[in-house]
Amino acid sequence: MDELLELLENNARISLEDLAKVTGRSQKEVASRIKKYEKKGIILKYKTLINKNKLREEKDKVLALIEVKITPQKDLGFDYIAERIYKFEEVKTCYLVSGTFDLLLVVEGKDIQTVANFVAEKLAPLNSVRGTTTHFLLKKYKEDGVIFEKTKGKRRLSIAY
């Protein structure tokens, strides 16, 4: 991957001046290349990674990983049903994967019941959906290469019988 893209992927707030220094290009050239990447759809979004565990109002939200087994429709393949599924507002991420299931979804809801209702009322009734397995996220340790909280010598107490 292009060095410029790697730098931006690692830190979207890096200045044009710093990008120019690291890549050995002018600020004008760097800005032009970024604009081209945005126009071509290579750069889709600039993102801030937030530790929502530390935000009181966000603690009630629930994230679930949902594995979905589907039957692709003739002449439409997996893309058609994936598009129908990822358009639901609850679906934050949708991947086509290999293995026992075909799609892996990241779904967000205000509570477990909201996610359960999504599966029961929206996802499972779709004609192409043959089965689902839902896993609720209990704790995030690392995301996008960032460790959320390093353990500082915290250890569980030994239990002796």
CATH code for the domain of 134: 3.30.70.920
Alpha carbons 51 and 148: distance in angstroms, whole number: 7
Does any domain span residue 9? yes
Same domain, yes or no, for 123 and 56?
A: yes
pTM over 0.85, yes/no: no
Question: Is the distance from CB of 72 to CB of 81 less than 8 angstroms?
Answer: yes
How many structural domains compose the chain?
A: 2
Same domain, yes or no, for 118 and 62?
A: yes
Nearest of 101, 99, 60, 103 to residue 81 by alpha carbon: 103
The range of the structural domain enclosing residue 13 comes to 3-39
pLDDT at 49: 80
Residue 11 has pLDDT above 80, yes or no: yes
Does any domain span residue 150? no
Does any domain span residue 134? yes
- Confidence category of residue 93, pLDDT binned at 50, 70, 90: very high
Q: How many CB atoms lie within 10 A of CB 42?
A: 12
pLDDT at 148: 83
Does any domain span residue 159? no
Same domain, yes or no, for 87 and 128?
A: yes
Q: How many CB atoms lie within 10 A of CB 40?
A: 8
pLDDT at 58: 55
Same domain, yes or no, for 67 and 109?
A: yes
pLDDT at 56: 64
